[in-house]
């Protein structure tokens, strides 16, 4: 754990925060508050002193260690709440009932779905008041419908969770993910001009934040270009484009990764169709115009 500002602790996750682990942020105040529980057993030392756990979104890698915080009250954005409260809601948001789901649980190193009891649902503009620190909820959808960031105004510090500035780029592999919302959320972060950006899967970023956010968004454009290039070579179905592994370089023989790729490619195709850049034939072939 590393105190990045007075009373604000960056809890680095196992394996430098690489999926399926995710960094947490611990905030000290009249009540102590933890954002996300994906960091690892290191969280054990916070278990007894944490009154509130705030979840940035419903993804399993951000709540792996929820069970350590039995005595804390949990909250999440209302749009993502179904994804942690019931398996049915998790399937509805993630689409994972459409694949061999065992491979997914292995991927996140969890046995299966365990529900989280949510005490309070928050929304854009809500505050958590810890006395000396106030934390403002920033609804930053796209990755998931209820994905949120958290602004600590006193330090102009934002925890942006899975707007994570990794080289992989934005991830929108659930049917409920939204490409346009993701773009808008990245732009909103740029407008907010934080002095320190902390994410779920990278080290804290203090320099060239704007540039890095722009480069992160540009990965979406790169995927668009790769798809257009492939379709210019030859028209293809969604399944054929998915097999080209434009987004994931490898699927490791895992149906679940192939599924995420297909969902992401589909979102690009919808956006390119809407933009009049490609068209679709009656036999489901996509053609570049
Ligand atoms: Zn996520
Ligand atoms: Zn994550």
Instruction: Tell me the CA–centroid distance for residue 109 and ligand 2, in Å.
Output: 14
Query: What pLDDT, in 10s, does the model give residues 131-175?
Result: 999 999 999 999 999 999 999 999 999 999 999 999 999 999 999
Query: In whole numbers, what is the pLDDT of the chain averaged over residues?
Result: 97
The predicted pLDDT at position 253 comes to 87
pLDDT-derived band of residue 187, with 50, 70 and 90 as boundaries? very high
Report the CATH number of the 220-288 domain: 1.10.10
**Pairing state between β 196-199 and 73-77:** unpaired
C-alpha span between 52 and 72 (Å, rounded): 5
Q: Which residues pair with 152 in a beta bridge?
A: 135, 157
> In Å, what is the CA distance from 218 to each residue of 70, 193, 257?
41, 18, 22
The alpha carbon of 276 and the centre of ligand 2 are apart by a number of angstroms equal to 33
> How many angstroms does the Cα of residue 38 sit away from the middle of ligand 2?
8
Q: How far is CA 207 from CA 159, 200, 202, 287, in A?
A: 15, 17, 13, 42
Over residues 17-25, the mean pLDDT reads 96
pLDDT by residue (tens digit) across 40-66?
Answer: 999 999 999 999 999 999 999 999 999
Average pLDDT over residues 260-278: 98
User: How is residue 84 written in tokens?
Assistant: 């942690």
Cα 250 to averaged position of ligand 2 atoms, centre (Å): 19
* Ligand in nearest proximity to the CA of 108: 2
Counting ligands in written order, which one lies closest to the CA of residue 57? Answer: 1
Of 64, 58, 168, the residue nearest 107 (C-alpha): 64
Ligand (nearest to CA of 61): 2
pLDDT at 252 over 90: no
pLDDT score, position 43: 98
Ion ligand 1 contact residues with beta carbon within 5 A: 59, 162
Mean pLDDT of 218-236: 98
Ligand 2 mean position, distance from CA 231 (Å): 31
CA of 170 to the centre of ligand 1 (A): 10
Whether the pLDDT of residue 95 is over 90: the answer is yes
pLDDT of 1 > 90? The answer is yes
Question: Any idea where the domains of the chain sit in the sequence?
Answer: 2-215, 220-288
CATH top-level class of 2-215: alpha beta
Compute, in angstroms, the gap from residue 143 CA to the centroid of ligand 1.
Answer: 6
Q: For the whole model, what pTM was predicted?
A: 0.97
């Amino acid at each position: 754990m590393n105190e990045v500002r007075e009373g604000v602790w960056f809890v680095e996750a196992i394996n430098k925060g690489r999926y399926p682990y995710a960094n947490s942020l611990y905030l000290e105040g009249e009540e102590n508050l933890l954002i996300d529980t994906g960091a690892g057993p290191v969280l054990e030392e916070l278990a007894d002193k944490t009154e509130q756990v705030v979840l940035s979104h419903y993804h399993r890698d951000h709540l792996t260690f929820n069970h350590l915080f039995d005595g804390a009250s949990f909250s999440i954005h209302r749009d993502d709440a179904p994804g942690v409260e019931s398996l049915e809601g998790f399937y509805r948001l993630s689409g994972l009932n459409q694949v061999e789901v065992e491979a997914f649980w292995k991927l996140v190193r969890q046995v299966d779905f365990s529900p989280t009891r949510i005490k309070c649902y928050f929304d854009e503009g809500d505050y958590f008041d810890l006395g000396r620190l106030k934390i403002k909820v920033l609804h930053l959808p796209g990755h998931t419908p209820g994905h949120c960031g958290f602004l600590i105004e006193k330090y102009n510090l934002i925890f942006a969770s899975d707007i994570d500035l990794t080289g992989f780029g934005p991830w929108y592999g659930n049917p409920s993910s939204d490409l346009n919302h993701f773009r808008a959320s990245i732009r909103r972060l740029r407008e907010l001009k934080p002095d320190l950006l902390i994410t779920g899967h990278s080290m804290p970023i203090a320099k060239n934040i704007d540039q890095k956010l722009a480069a992160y968004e540009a990965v979406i454009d790169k995927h668009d270009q790769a798809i257009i290039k492939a379709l210019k070579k030859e028209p293809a179905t969604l399944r054929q484009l998915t097999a080209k592994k434009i987004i994931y370089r490898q699927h490791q023989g895992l149906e679940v990764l192939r599924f995420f790729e297909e969902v992401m490619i589909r979102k690009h195709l919808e956006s390119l169709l809407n933009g009049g850049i490609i068209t679709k034939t009656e036999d489901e072939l996509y053609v570049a115009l």
